[in-house]
Structure 1
Amino acid sequence: MGAALKLGEYLREQRRSAQLSLRQLAEAAGVSNPYLSQIERGLRKPSAEILQQLAKALRISAETLYVQAGILDARERDELEVPAAILTDPLINERQKQVLIQIYESFRKENAAAGAAERSEQPEQREKKPERFEKRQESATSDEPGEDAGGDDAEEEADGAVPVWEEDHR
């Protein structure tokens, strides 16, 4: 499927979900009715400026249309999908949409900064030391209060080494 046809189908879907006629959207976007019809049928590929006008009229992000038209790189798509979904949600108002997008973007920046800090660590700092954990064996046969329920404390190397059992001489 060509980018123009994919864009046209997406525009038609967005127009219908906004409950706009072809004529209403064309008027709101400042384009002719026949031109919009050709875009929806995949016969014309609109400029970024026209896409921006259509996005404004549909109350969706222009970036979403740029991705559909193949103007934006696919790598940028992930960054745009959440804001686009927020902007197209008819159940939340414009102020709520902007607040949600700001929160989302702040989380992305925070996580990107944390990821950059991790990547800049020295390799020897990133080496993982063998994990040690305590293993307690319990037995249902011991009912004495204060008595260890059937076992000694054990430490085992995470790399599969043989565990060393130490006796408790308290």
Structure 2
Amino acid sequence: MASLNVGGLGGYLREQRRTAQLSLRQLADAAGVSNPYLSQIERGLRKPSAEILQQIAKALRISAETLYVQAGILDERDRGEVETRGVILADPTLDERQKQVLLQIYESFRKGNGYGADDGPAGEGGTSSAGTADAS
């Protein structure tokens, strides 16, 4: 896991809050955190948990994954996978069986291209699972 980039996260949060035209107090109330705590996060003095980041993201109406990347909790290359899985699982036009089949096909293609379930691409510290991909 990457180290937390707290300073960069704080500036990013401040920018998102201002873009949303919210005061510090308004965002703190909407996210369910204290005003001083949110202020400390924005100034890079505190390291928020993934749960707190999720609450802030919801209040700002942005993806939690975006904040996880900014905080260094989630690697940028993992973001696409997380978002793709989320879109598939959230699609109301698909039944559960269809969602699971799509996820299996998606994972099969990822493995075939050298990405494991929790690994980066082969040659970048990850291990290639191409020979074990199940394309059934």
Please, what TM-score do these two structures have when normalized by structure 2? Answer: 0.58
- Cα deviation code 1:9-44 (max 9, x no counterpart): 110011000000000000000111010000001000
Q: Give the Å deviation of 1:74.
A: 2.7
Q: Is 1:25–2:27 an aligned residue pair?
A: yes
CA distance in 2, matches of 1:12, 1:115: 35
SS at 1:19 equivalent: coil
Distance 1:30 1:16 in 2: 18
TM-aligned CA deviation for residue 75 of structure 1: 1.5
- 1:62 correspondence with 2:51: no
Distance of 1:115 and 1:27 partners within structure 2: 40
Where in structure 1 do 4 or more consecutive aligned residues deviate above 2 Å? 77-82, 109-120
* Structure of higher RCO (CA pairs closer than 8 Å, 6+ residues apart): 2
TM-score w.r.t. the length of structure 1 is: 0.47
Query: 1:72 and 1:117, CA in 2 relative to 1: closer, same or farther beyond 3 A?
Result: closer
**Unaligned segments of structure 2, at least 5 residues:** 85-89, 92-103, 114-129, 132-136
1:78 Cα deviation after fit: 4.6
Structure 1 gaps, min length 5: 83-97, 100-108, 121-170
Q: Which moved more, 1:19-28 or 1:70-79?
A: 70-79
Cα separation, 2, equivalents of 1:57 and 1:30 = 9
Structure richer in strand, relative to its length: 1
Structure having the larger proportion of residues in helix? 2
Measured on the aligned residues, the alpha-carbon RMSD in Å equals 3.6
Q: Distance in 1 between matches of 2:50 and 2:106?
A: 31
1:73: Cα distance to partner? 1.9
Deviations 1:122-161 (A, max 9, x none): xxxxxxxxxxxxxxxxxxxxxxxxxxxxxxxxxxxxxxxx
Q: Report how many residues are paired.
A: 105
**Structure 1 counterpart of 2:116:** none
User: In the alignment, is residue 7 of structure 1 matched against residue 2 of structure 2?
Assistant: no
Q: Distance in 2 between matches of 1:14 and 1:80?
A: 21
Q: Compare CA radii of gyration and give the structure with the larger one.
A: 1
Identity rate, percent: 71
Q: In structure 2, do the counterparts of structure 1 residues 116 and 68 end up closer, same or farther at CA, with 3 Å as the change threshold?
A: closer
